[in-house]
Amino acid sequence: MVKIDLRKARYAQILISKKAIEEDSFNHPIRNVGGVDVAFKSNYSIGAAVVLSYDDLRVLGKAYYISEVRIPYIPTYLAFREIRAMIGAVNRLSIKPDIVLVDAHGKCHPRRAGEATHLGVVLDIPTIGVAKSHLTGKEREDGYIVDNDGEVLGYHLMPNVYVSVGHRISLKTAIKIVKKLTVYGIPEPTRQAHIYANEVKSKLSKILSKGGKAEL
């Protein structure tokens, strides 16, 4: 494991947060949506990305990326541990999604730079953070999550769905998209990514024995 310099990591997160765009920046109707999740086994992280049709949620493509884990688990610094696997999986997709839902927070993060923000800024793609639990801020009666100054960080859509802006999208649009894509209590893109990540995880030994490649 590599010892992370938290001072430098915080500074990097602040820089990333300043690059995040909280406005819709796609000029055509959404056709395909992506989902990203990460699983772990032994000393490996498994990034899993899927692409679904926006209209009927058919799975159109999948990709994975396996990486050695170099950074220990540190709350609010997960991107430094997981982002390499996420980027690798997204870059391997043969069908590029118009927007990607990340099983993690975006702006709803102590330094406004969760994994969805990292992924969006690094790849310059529209991303939405969709986390399963509360991380920071105070939840108002209307479901919006705000900081101590009243700035909106995200929205508690349903029991296990916390929505926040990643990059190149507005919170209003992000909420609308996540609502449309949620069928079984969590958004279908991240649900499918989670399923696929665990499928790859179950076959990790076989995949590694073949040099990181296997038919799934």
> What is the model's pLDDT at position 129?
98
Q: Which residues pair with 48 in a beta bridge?
A: 37, 64
Q: What is the mean pLDDT of each run of 10 residues along the chain (216 residues)?
A: 94 98 90 98 96 98 96 96 97 97 98 98 98 97 97 97 98 98 96 98 90 55
Any domain includes 100: yes
| Residues 171, 152 contacting (CB under 8 angstroms) | yes
Give whole-number Cα distances, 167 to 63, 162, 198, in Å.
22, 16, 27
CA torsion angle for 18, 176, 187, 34 (degrees, to 10)? -60
Identify which of 90, 50, 87, 83 has the alpha carbon closest to the alpha carbon of residue 69. 83
Domain count across the chain: 1
- Give the E-state strand segments of the chain in sequence order: 32-41, 44-53, 59-68, 99-102, 127-131, 138-139, 144-146, 152-158, 161-167
* Domain-located, residue 215: no
Identify whether 81 is part of a domain.
yes
Which domain, by its residues, includes 130?
A: 6-209
Q: Report yes or no on 39 lying in a domain.
A: yes
CATH number at residue 100: 3.30.2170.10
What pLDDT does residue 214 have? 47
Structure-token pair, residue 207: 């995949």
Strands 99-102 and 127-131, by their bridges, are: parallel
List b or e across 128-153, with b for residues whose CB sees 16 or more CB atoms inside 10 angstroms: bbbbeeebbbeeeeeebbeeeeeebb
In DSSP terms, 155 is beta-bridged to 144, 163
Residue 119 lies in a domain: yes
Query: What's the burial of 209, exposed, middle or buried (CB within 10 Å: 0-12/13-18/19+)?
Result: exposed
Whole-number Å distance between alpha carbons of 188 and 99: 13
In this prediction, residue 212 carries a pLDDT of: 65
Query: Is residue 214 in a domain?
Result: no
**32: which 2 tokens?**
């395909």
pLDDT at 213: 54
Q: What is the pTM of this model?
A: 0.95
Residue appearing with tokens 């690059």: 19
Distance separating alpha carbons of residues 84 and 120, to the nearest angstrom: 13
In a domain, residue 216? The reply is no
1 belongs to a structural domain: no
